[in-house]
Amino acid sequence: MDRERLFALLERFARGELAREELAEAIAVAPFVELGDARVDTQRALRVGFPEVVLGTGKSVDQIVRIARALAAAGQNTLVTRVTPDAAAALRTELPEFEYLAPARLAVLRQQPIALIGRGPIAVVSAGTADSPVAEEAACVAELFGNKVERVYDVGVAGLHRLLASLETLRRATVLIAVAGMEGALASVVGGLVAAPVIAVPTSVGYGVSLGGVAALLAMMNSCASNVTVVNIDNGFGAAYVASLINRA
């Protein structure tokens, strides 16, 4: 339950459309739903402003379905990340109301309208074409969390003219997400070009001593640009989450 829904309930109660008992019941649900192997946090939106999101990796389809159903039953928008096409098909067999955003590997159920709550646009900047699944995860999640998103893709630092062609877009953003594999240098260069905070997302794109993204992560952790912080490899969701928090201020 998020604050909007709580306020709506309270107003309906004030207008006499909801009995005292019904209100109590709606509020008094436990702060989590016990599923045996999962305790689903159905009131996170109320506490932190965004509903709980299900990380699809490492869970069986059955587990995903049960958790998604519990979250969906709480009446809020529901998001599952890292959903493979096969898992998406299985999920939609059980819960056909879910939509699958293939380039971003997201399964989404929109039950509430999404209002624009950000102070300004979030720019998602990516280094190469192969980084686009992670960049799209970040961009779509940021949009689902109520932000305007500007995509600036395939602007790796070995071709600075491609990046500088979008300089105005970068400078307009209130927060930036820099997505890059291989040497991960994009975060530092973008960080030096703007005054806003930059959230760096290393990706597992590369080969050899890219070490599955560790090289990019190390580069980003060592950035000489002071406005850069870092999230885990391929964690487009986490970057979008924090960017939304910052943009909401």
* Binding residues among 205-244 for a second copy as defined by CB under 8 A: 205-235, 237-239, 241-242
Residue 37 Cβ, how far from a second copy at the closest point, in Å?
4
**Does residue 101 belong to the site contacting a second copy (CB under 8 A)?**
no
- E strand intervals along the chain: 33-34, 39-40, 54-55, 78-81, 99-101, 106-109, 122-126, 149-152, 175-180, 198-202, 228-230
Q: Considering only residues 59, 139, 144, 179, which one is a binding residue for a second copy as defined by CB under 8 A?
A: 59
Distance in angstroms (rounded) separating the CA atoms of residues 126 and 149: 13
* Binding residues among 172-211 for a second copy as defined by CB under 8 A: 174, 181-185, 187-189, 191-197, 199, 202, 204-211
What are the angstrom distances between the C-alpha of 36 and each of 39, 78, 222? Answer: 7, 20, 42
Residue 11 Cβ, how far from a second copy at the closest point, in Å?
23
Q: Considering only residues 28, 115, 116, 249, which one is a binding residue for a second copy as defined by CB under 8 A?
A: 249
Stretch that binds a second copy, among 11-19, 21-29, 90-98, 156-164 (CB under 8 A): 156-164
Q: Considering only residues 22, 24, 93, 159, which one is a binding residue for a second copy as defined by CB under 8 A?
A: 159
Residue of 68, 114, 71 whose CA lies nearest to 94:
68
Q: Which is nearer to a second copy, 112 or 166 (CB)?
A: 166
Q: Which is nearer to a second copy, 121 or 206 (CB)?
A: 206
Q: Which is nearer to a second copy, 9 or 46 (CB)?
A: 46
Residue 25 Cβ, how far from a second copy at the closest point, in Å?
20
Map residue 55 onto helix, strand or coil: strand
Distance in angstroms (rounded) separating the CA atoms of residues 199 and 231: 7
Residue 19 Cβ, how far from a second copy at the closest point, in Å?
28
In this structure, the strands spanning 175-180 and 198-202 are: parallel
* Binding residues among 61-100 for a second copy as defined by CB under 8 A: 63, 67
Residue 45 Cβ, how far from a second copy at the closest point, in Å?
10
Distance in angstroms (rounded) separating the CA atoms of residues 236 and 240: 6
Distance in angstroms (rounded) separating the CA atoms of residues 184 and 196: 19
Q: Which is nearer to a second copy, 119 or 172 (CB)?
A: 119
Q: Which is nearer to a second copy, 115 or 195 (CB)?
A: 195
What are the angstrom distances between the C-alpha of 19 and each of 26, 76, 128? Answer: 11, 22, 56
Q: Where are the alpha helices (DSSP H) in 145-193?
A: 160-164, 167-172, 186-193
* Binding residues among 124-153 for a second copy as defined by CB under 8 A: 127-130, 132, 153
